[in-house]
């Protein structure tokens, strides 16, 4: 009888990650992972104490993928805009991952949700360079920008609407510019509303 093939925990996480990428977490189970490994479930439970532990490792890998996208934006030209585009690109390239990370019930308020992201502070600092706002002002402004950006990302992840990359970039650029102009007018005590107010 040939010796059993050994699988590392990394092999198993990579297979499980691919299953989640293609089918979502709800379709991840030991039998499916074993089938992709061409093995029994034994190697899975030799490397992991439970499916919950494997799920946790897969979620960590998903978070690492997301961070790569966001950090590539922060480290590029026009970081604030690039981060928004990276967020939407992540939703387009990894819709199941996006749904897992950003389309679940959290019971958090908008600011807390944005700040729960490990890259949140870096994104706000990048926004300050663009806007010239204080950190606290930029944090409030960023929540509004994020809600708009998140809306586009949700439409992309669910394939509700088809956008070209140029349409996304133009929408993001123009809307953020208009929001910043409006924010600065209101900050100076101006009135953005019509005479009927």
Give the domain ranges of the chain: 9-48, 78-187
Structure tokens given for 44: 């899975």
List pLDDT tens digits, range 68-92.
999 888 887 788 899 999 999 999 9
Overall CATH class of domain 9-48: mainly alpha
* Residue 78 zone, left/alpha/beta (φ > 0; ψ -120 to 50; rest): left
> Do 172 and 130 touch, CB atoms closer than 8 A?
no
30 vs 46: CA distance, rounded Å: 12
Judged against a pLDDT cut of 70, whether residue 194 lies above it is answered with: no
pLDDT interval class at 2 (50, 70, 90): very low
pLDDT interval class at 11 (50, 70, 90): very high
- Cβ-count burial of 169 within 10 angstroms (0-12 exposed, 13-18 middle, 19+ buried)? middle
Q: Name the average pLDDT for the chain.
A: 89
Q: Which among 67, 66, 51 has a CA at the least distance from the CA of 19?
A: 51
Using alpha carbons only, give the angle 96, 126, 77 rounded to the nearest 5 degrees. 80
> Cα 87 from chain centroid?
6
Tell me, what's the pLDDT at 182? 87
| DSSP of 122-140 | HHHHHHHHHH---HHHHHH
């Amino acid at each position: 009888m040939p010796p059993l093939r050994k699988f590392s925990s990394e092999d198993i996480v990579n297979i499980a990650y691919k299953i989640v990428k293609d089918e979502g977490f709800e379709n991840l189970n030991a039998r499916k992972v074993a089938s992709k490994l061409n093995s029994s479930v034994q190697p899975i439970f030799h490397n992991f104490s439970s499916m919950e532990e494997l799920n946790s490792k897969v979620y960590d890998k998903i978070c690492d993928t997301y961070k790569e996208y966001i950090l590539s934006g922060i480290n590029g030209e026009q970081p604030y805009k690039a981060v928004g585009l990276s967020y939407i690109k992540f939703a387009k390239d990894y819709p199941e991952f996006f749904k897992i990370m950003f389309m679940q019930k959290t019971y958090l308020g908008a600011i807390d949700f944005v700040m729960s992201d490990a890259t949140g502070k870096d994104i706000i600092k990048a926004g300050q360079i663009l806007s010239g706002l204080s950190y606290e002002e930029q944090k409030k402004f960023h929540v509004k920008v994020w809600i708009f950006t998140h809306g586009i990302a949700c439409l992309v992840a669910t394939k509700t609407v088809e956008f070209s990359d140029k349409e996304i970039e133009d929408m993001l650029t123009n809307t953020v510019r208009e929001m910043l102009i409006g924010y600065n007018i209101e900050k100076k005590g101006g009135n953005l509303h019509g005479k009927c107010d």
